[in-house]
């Protein structure tokens, strides 16, 4: 079975959480890789498969760490124990946890309590407004919501796989 890039990323994030990684530790690793000039290999498909090598950009590091933080916080919002963590160190900084816990908790509540697989984007934008004072674009919010729901499906499946 072929996994999508998103499924592979979530799987890697869940493993990183279980192994005791933190957002700050992973940020340091990625920044060190970026500064060393290492090239990463990516695959893009435009009617065929093309392998590309590129350097890591600073904005990619920050977005990657944000997505990993959302995965970690989502796991924290699951009924215990879904994933055993091999470290007592908190997986995310207090700042990131405060920014994203409500967002992830709203989605986890919809998932576990109401059996939903989607929430209105406006509801999540209102959560962002209340916590950080601004809301992201609807497409970005929807993408982050999909990440949370997909993470929940990996760590605590509620429905049979089709």
pLDDT digits (tens, 9 = 90+) for 151-162: 999 999 887 666
pLDDT of 145 above 70: yes
* Residue pointed to by tokens 């809301």: 135
Domain definitions of the chain by residue range? 5-155
SS (H, E, C) 49-109: EEEEEEECCHHHHHHHHHHHHHHHHHHHCCCCCCCCCCCCCCCCCHHHHHHHHHHHHHHHH
**pLDDT tens column, 41-75:** 665 555 555 555 666 666 778 888 999 999 999 99
Distance of alpha carbon 159 from its chain centroid, rounded? 21
Report whether 93 contacts 23 (CB < 8 A): yes
pLDDT at site 55: 65
pTM of the model: 0.86
Encoded tokens for 142: 């929807």
Upstream peptide bond of 81 is cis (omega within 30 degrees of 0): yes
pLDDT at site 134: 95
pLDDT at site 75: 96
Q: What is the mean pLDDT of the segment spanning 94-118?
A: 93
């Amino acid at each position: 079975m072929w996994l999508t890039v998103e499924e592979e990323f979530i799987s890697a994030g869940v493993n990183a959480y279980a192994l005791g990684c933190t957002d700050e530790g992973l940020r340091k690793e990625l920044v060190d890789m970026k500064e060393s000039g290492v090239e990463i290999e990516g695959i893009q498909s435009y009617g065929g498969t093309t392998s590309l090598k590129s350097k890591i950009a600073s904005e990619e590091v920050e977005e990657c760490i944000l997505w990993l933080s959302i995965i970690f916080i989502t796991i924290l919002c699951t009924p215990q124990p879904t994933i055993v963590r091999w470290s007592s160190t908190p997986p995310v900084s207090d700042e990131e946890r405060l920014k994203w816990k409500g967002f992830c908790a709203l989605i986890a509540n919809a998932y576990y309590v109401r059996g939903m697989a989607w929430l209105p984007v406006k509801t999540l934008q209102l959560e962002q407004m209340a916590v950080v004072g601004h809301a992201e674009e609807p497409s970005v919010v929807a993408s982050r919501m999909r990440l949370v729901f997909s993470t929940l499906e990996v760590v605590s499946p509620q429905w049979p796989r089709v």
